Amino acid sequence: MDAPNGLGFVDETPADIKSFFDSAPPLKNDAEIRRKLKEFIERNHSSSENGRARRVVCVTSGGTTVPLEKRCVRYIDNFASGHRGAASTEYFLKAGYAVVFLHRRRTYQPYCRSLPEDPLLECFEVTSESNITVQPTHAKAVKEAISEHHAAVTQGTLLKLSFTTVFEYLQMLQLIALSMRSLGPRAMFYLAAAVSDFYVPWESMAAHKIQSGSGPLDMRLAEVPKMLSMLRKVWAPMAFCISFKLETDTKLLLEKADMALRKYNMHMVIANELITHKEEVVVVMKSGNITVRRDKTQATADIEDPLIKLIVDRHSAYISSES
C-alpha cells in the first residue's frame, strides 16, 4: 500500500492516475476540507430521517478549468452553469439526504436559483440611513432562500465545498469519496459537474503568462485519467454512483452513455443533450432506459424534481438489496 497525499492508494492504481495526483499542486485548504468532511460525515453517519439512517449524497456541480499557466492568466473552461447541481441539491435535501455540494466557485447555489442575477442590488432597497428592506416583488423568494438555506446549514445537512481547476476537483472528489466510504450503500455520488477531458500536466505548464508575438501557439494536452473506475473500485465501492453524459450529437448520446455505464460500472448514467438538457434526460440503467421530462404545464417546474424522485426510489431499492 502506498499513499501519496495521505489518501490511501492501492498498488493497482493505474500509472496515469498516480502521476496525475503526484504532480497536481496540493490543495491549499486541505486540512480544513478534511476537518469539515470528518465532522459532516460523523454527524450524519449516526443521524436519522423519518426513522431511517440518513443517506448522504455528493453532488458535483459546474465546470472545471484547465489552467494554461501556473500563475494563471488564461485557462480552458467547460460548459456548466451549476443550475442542475444547485436544483438537485435542493431536492435531495427535501428528500431527507445530507448533501456535500462540490461546486465550481461563483456558479449557481442551492436556494438562490429563483433570485435575480444581481440579487443584492435588485432585491433590496435602502429606506433610511440605517435601514434596508426587501423589495415586495422579491420578498417571497428571498424569505424562502434565507430560511431553507439556514435550515440546511444549521441542521448540518449541507456542506458546501468549492473548486476551480480540474486538479482541485479531482483531489476533492477523492477526499470526499474516501470519507463517505464508511457509509456503505447509504452513500451516493451524483456527478453533474462538467469535467475537463484534457489538461496541461503541472510539470510541463508555463510558469508565467505565455507571451504572444512569435506566431501561433502550439500546445499539447494530456488526457485527464478517468477517475470513475477508481471511485467504483477503490474509493467508495459500495456507494450508489450516477454519472452524466453530455453530447451535442444526438446520434452519439445513448451509445456513449451505455458505454460509460458498462465501462465504469455505474448504477445510472444520465444522458443529456446540450440544447435540451433542461427539458429532457434519459436515465440509462442496466435494467433499461427511462426518459424523464420537465412538466411543461408549469412554468416554474424543474426537470430535477421528477429526476431526483426516480433516483431516490432506485437508491432505496439498492440499499435494500445490499443489506
Residues 6 or more apart whose CB falls under 8 angstroms from that of 194 comprise: 62, 63, 64, 78, 79, 80, 246
Binding status of residue 267 toward ligand 9Z3 by CB under 6 A: no
Contact 79, 63 (CB under 8 A): yes
As measured in angstroms, the least distance from the Cβ of 260 to ligand 9Z3 is: 7
As measured in angstroms, the least distance from the Cβ of 264 to ligand 9Z3 is: 9
Contact 100, 82 (CB under 8 A): no
Residue among 103, 138, 149, 245 that touches ligand 9Z3 (CB under 6 A):
245
Pick the closer one to ligand 9Z3 by CB: 161 or 191. Answer: 191
Q: Which amino acid is at 81?
A: S
Residue among 33, 66, 80, 183 that touches ligand 9Z3 (CB under 6 A):
80
Alpha carbon 296 to its chain centroid, in Å, reads 26
Taking CB under 6 A as the binding criterion, the range among 80-88, 142-150, 159-167, 304-312 that sits at the site for ligand 9Z3 is: 80-88
Size of the site for ligand 9Z3 (CB under 6 A): 15
Q: What is the maximum alpha-carbon separation in the chain?
A: 67
Q: Side-chain half-sphere of 240: how many Cα atoms within 13 Å?
A: 23
Taking CB under 6 A as the binding criterion, the range among 5-13, 47-55, 81-89, 307-315 that sits at the site for ligand 9Z3 is: 81-89
Residue among 13, 17, 56, 84 that touches ligand 9Z3 (CB under 6 A):
84
Cell representation of residue 40: 459532516
Binding status of residue 109 toward ligand 9Z3 by CB under 6 A: no
Taking CB under 6 A as the binding criterion, the range among 1-9, 238-246, 284-292, 313-321 that sits at the site for ligand 9Z3 is: 238-246
Q: What backbone phi and psi angles, to 5 degrees, belong to 308?
A: -70, -30
Cα separation, 35 vs 168, in Å, equals 17
Q: What backbone phi and psi angles, to 5 degrees, belong to 83?
A: -65, -45
Q: What is the CA radius of gyration of the chain?
A: 21
Site for ligand 9Z3 in 177-216 (CB under 6 A): 191-192, 194-195
Cell representation of residue 120: 443584492
Pick the closer one to ligand 9Z3 by CB: 109 or 243. Answer: 243
As measured in angstroms, the least distance from the Cβ of 117 to ligand 9Z3 is: 14
List interacting residues with ligand 9Z3 (CB under 6 A): 80-84, 191-192, 194-195, 243-246, 272, 277
